[in-house]
Structure 1
Amino acid sequence: MSEVTLPGGELWSVLRSRTQARIGLGRAGSALPTRHRLALQTAHAAARDAVHSPFEPDAVAAGLAGMPTVRVRSAAGDRLTYLQRPDLGRRLDPADRAHLPTGDWDMVFVVADGLSSRAVHEHAAAMVRATAERLAGWTIAPVVLAEQARVALGDDVAHAMGAAMVVVLVGERPGMSAADSLGAYLTYRPTPGVTTDADRNCLSNIRPPLGLTYETAAGKLAGLMGRGRELGVTGVGLKDESDHGGVCDRLL
């Protein structure tokens, strides 16, 4: 069956070069052309792999060489439980909570596998470093590497460690355009079971070169952190005044 192209093929080519959305693909009979259908199936497979691939904290720790780290797990004992019971992914395993170091820290980074370990493996260490470089004068707790973790686990971690602010770097839900997107979630004075999504700021789509670069995201995040500490608030009470995109409205 011959492939039918859409009118204005040159225009569609220009538009496709400016977006990752699947637009102007044409058709073969009543279906997509084979090459586009195969590309769609490949993207779907990559998304599934991102969700189910195991977290490798050793790889992240290697990228953070020179920075102290500590490892924890959520109350979800395995990946299936994590996917079926989001509530357990938001709570620390009690045994791991007992072994967290405590101190008078300004902030703590939590690197969480979330729904894409691939995103964490590829981007989290560089993002931690780029942000930490912009936090002169801040006391930073050991980086927490969290397995089977969701965003709200950071509340439990910061509260247990005595950190005033937490930044959770987490693998975002993969889509058909991106399976390696990293999110950064910022919360001031979190309290487990009390803090809500409205108390957080979020940066999304950290994944150079197709998304936010580490430098742009770290600059935006450090700016929000400084302003949040000054005002004593994050979330809806803290507005991003930078010129760059990347603010997200979804939480894990």
Structure 2
Amino acid sequence: MNKTRLAKTELAAERNEMNKQLNDPSPKQMDKCSPMCCQDDSSFELHVVSTNRGEQTTVLNVVKQIWPWVDYIHIREKQLSLLQHFIWASHMTESGVPSSRIVINGANPFVPSEFCRGAHWSQQMLTKAEVSMNTVNKGERMRLGVSVHSLHEARAAADYGADYLFFGHVYTSRSKPDLTPRGVDALAEVCSGVDIPVIAIGGIQASTIQAVRLAGARGAAVISSVFQHEHPAHAIRLIKQAAERVI
């Protein structure tokens, strides 16, 4: 059996277990520590999020170029099933991307996987959650992020036990061209209103990294500025250099 077929077989078994547990997560299911639960909170995190267009080949080719300069790579493809997200992750790890840098949208943080070490939730998933993350030691689950769009949502996610937040969109975004950006002032309000790291997302460029840092963001997430760039590796290096500049 070749590696791809083996991975799919293993994922099928994992899917069956996930289907039982996803809506009723139990802390007892996580029996090993995840590297993503033990991060240095003083660092400025750089996240890259997939295009949400089902472009697996394109995303994989870009990710293989950029992962050394990125803290986390999010697989966020709303039109795909959770199993398909894990198949994408398996292909990334086969290509040399460390699983410790892979985050899967919609994954159950209480269920370990060899293909990722982090989960990210939408507001819809948060409202359906029944078990608080605060009931589980961080070393016994995957790191969890939640997307928020207001201070109220941010505080609710923090109270639930999220480890970090995505807030946006901060600037005009190619992925949301018809929506008015929330701006740096709104970002600053959220950053000062919660005690967990806030990651700025939406229209982030190398030229705006310092502004979001000054607003209190502990990281930035990018999509178009990398995936739509002619030279993705060059683009991410510029963003990384800007993020590391002392302010």
Q: TM-score, normalised by structure 2?
A: 0.29
Structure with bigger helix share is 2
Q: TM-score, normalised by structure 1?
A: 0.28
